[in-house]
Structure 1
Amino acid sequence: MSAPTSTPTDVANTVTLKAQCLCRAHSFSTPVPFASLPLKASSCHCTSCRHVTGALRSCDIPWPGPTTTDIARSGLQRYAHSARVNVLFCRQCGTGMFFEEVADGEVPRRYGVFTGVVDFEVNGDASGLRLVAYEDHIFVGDTLDGGSAAWLRSMNGDAGDRTRVWLGGREKSQEVPADAQWPPVSDLPAYAADLKAAEGDKGIVPIRCHCRGVDFSLRAGQAQREFAELQQKGEKLPWIVDPVTHKLIGGLDGCNSCRIWSGSEVFNWTFSLVKHLSFAGGESGGFPLDAAELQAAVEAKDGRQRDPRFGTLALYASSPDVQRYFCSRCSASVFYAVNDRPELLDVAVGVLDSPDGARAERVISWAFGGDVVWRSDMVGSWREGLLHAVEKESEQWRIERGYPKNWLRVASEQAAKKPEAEAK
């Protein structure tokens, strides 16, 4: 559904702000004068935003164009994120696109477009202009561990202002000093902290969207114990497993499709073998054994009865061999599956409900530092400055935390050095 807007007379001094969902069923555009740049973005790390997006934060900029006809009547699905804010998303592909602020619960008064779905078309010479300024992180206190704000303090690059951090609302809560981390590194779990000794439910991490229509479990403690036993037997570990801690790898993904689908410029995934996923409460009975079975169970074609325990889980096939799972009621990104690795699912970190905090560090071994995955999708775009800032700051964070380079990065760096050594 396309929503055209009027074109200003002085086209040469504008950029065209575009927003589009992954399946392209919904597309919006509006002109923005150079004088109105940069557009100001704010990231929210509250528990609700994480579980309604699947990302570690939401990020939006005020939509500068017409709203009543272009967005309010667009046919986007609405979900009441709170009493005064709706999430507007595509019901076909699950892409979250807008926050809709409402007055008295009825009349829309403001729209914020998710920065992950945004792109720009420059009309004229925009050299030296910043398109987006990332102003602040709010409600970071909800994360318990700082979430992704830890490596997103310099989002505007070396030339831009440092992004401010508030534990609660903007100007209404404690601000974290620019030269400090919250919480202090000394208060965070050590790299080796895990769930191997966790008994019963304490080793199970819920996977929940905001509306709780999606409610599954990751049996993380059991997985870590099994991986440790495999290693003791001399068997090869799956590539997703840290060979030291036996936790699951977590990383930073800059691919265009994940960016658009989640609304987040740099998305955060962890991974799980399908056999370590269960219905709510750790009940493994009846849960699919691989990604192909999951797809068949969720689609429930040919008269097959759908198991009600799948709740509101839906899927969008973004390519013939890829399935993206999301909540059909609140839009949260949940899983990513690809046909050539049926035993494995990507799991959106934002829907993990870990008591340790948003980063779930007793479950996830974070690949801090090094290259963002699919960084080539950001190179050459207006997001390239953000890419370099994130890579630089996540490496600094790795060193500050005392984390080793992750095993995949070490293997890649060693492989790159081998031809050089042979050439000598």
Structure 2
Amino acid sequence: MNLGTRKILDRSFTAVGFGSIAVMGIALLIVLVPIITNGVGSVFFTGTLEHRKMLFNEFGRGNTEELAKENASSEVYRKQIYGMLSAFEAELETMESEKKQDYLSKYGPVKTALQTLIGPLPGEPEAILTRYKYGQTRWGKAEEKLHEFLYETKWDFSNPDAMSKEYFVSRATEFEGTSLVKLFPFVEEHLEDVLRPEFTVYWGFLTDSSVDSHIFGGIWPEIQGTFFLAVGAMLFAFPLGVIAAVYFTEYAREGFFNSILRSANSTLAGVPSIVFGLFGLAFFINTLKVSESKSVLAGSLTLAIMILPTIIRAAEEAILSVPKTYKEASLSLGSTKWNTIMTVILPAALPGIITGGVISLGRAAGETAPIIFTAAVSVGSAIGLADVFSSPTPALSWNIYNLASEHEAAAEIRHVQYGMVLSLVSIVLLLNLSAILLRARISKKLKG
């Protein structure tokens, strides 16, 4: 190959390398930007008076005097709304039966939409579920609900050759000639006076427990459960992985038995995570009975088996990267093989071992399938350290899936879903960053 061709190839490979990095960076931005922008909205948002009421009633948080003043200011406009409803209900009693029934069928959705917007109406029975005790706690959602209050959604099926088209009909036109027609422009004009929106920083999203299946409250039980599961997995997997790596690199001899062990370790690294979940259910819960049902212990053991091959491989590579002269110098000075491993080889390999361990910890924190059958529950409170042997726990990875796909009000709690995703991504990134910093610090100490 001549020099010119070699230069062209070198430049081509360099360009492809930079191009690949750029594509990966763009893909990462495409994924992370919506997660960050929407996830931050779970903590920083425009909250309404209903949000402050919820915090005071459910968590005992807030200033009583300020809340009373805000309630008084809001009540001025609420009473006018309630008065319009009462006037129309009185008007209904004077109508003919057929006309009354027609208006009642239209009036029901109006009351429901209004209650969803500003909270319970006078005379309504006390709600059992917390979600019906308050109006919209976020101003962005309140504006969406205002549109639903003002307009009725309908569909046009007139064209059989095309899909139906969505269009909106003003609810006010349905009540022309009645006293209720004044309600719609009044609510539209004075909604800010009723809900009193203001910028809110809600750190309780990270420290509070959920209320009414994450309609309100925070995600602390999920964060704590993720921490328990990931750390528990490392407590089992890390020592076993390092011991196995020491055996493979320092004691194992070439042969059929060790070949089988290495093949098994490589095979485990490629097994789908859902298989580990089923294995954990069958082996740890049904056979060994480490707990009567789902528990943090069973989930941690399952995750430990899943990340064990990665830890073994990382530790093995780290040990093999230690110069042989270290071992030879130690043995020549009369040290035993075991003492050489413990005092010379493992300390020198420690940066690589810890890096592999923390990366595995990040993987354990983000896994969903292995904990579905062994540890995770959809809704639950934070558990104590003593409960890890017998109690299941919420976890970020499982609850993200559950809230996005199975929750009855999934569209109403997008901020919770994105907040969970951002929290999980942040935890994994922090773990990886800590691995880099820890490795650099240990390497610096080893170099003197």
Q: Which TM-score band (shorter chain)?
A: under 0.3
The TM-score, its normalising length taken from structure 1, stands at: 0.23
The TM-score, its normalising length taken from structure 2, stands at: 0.22
The structure with more strand, counted as a fraction of residues: 1
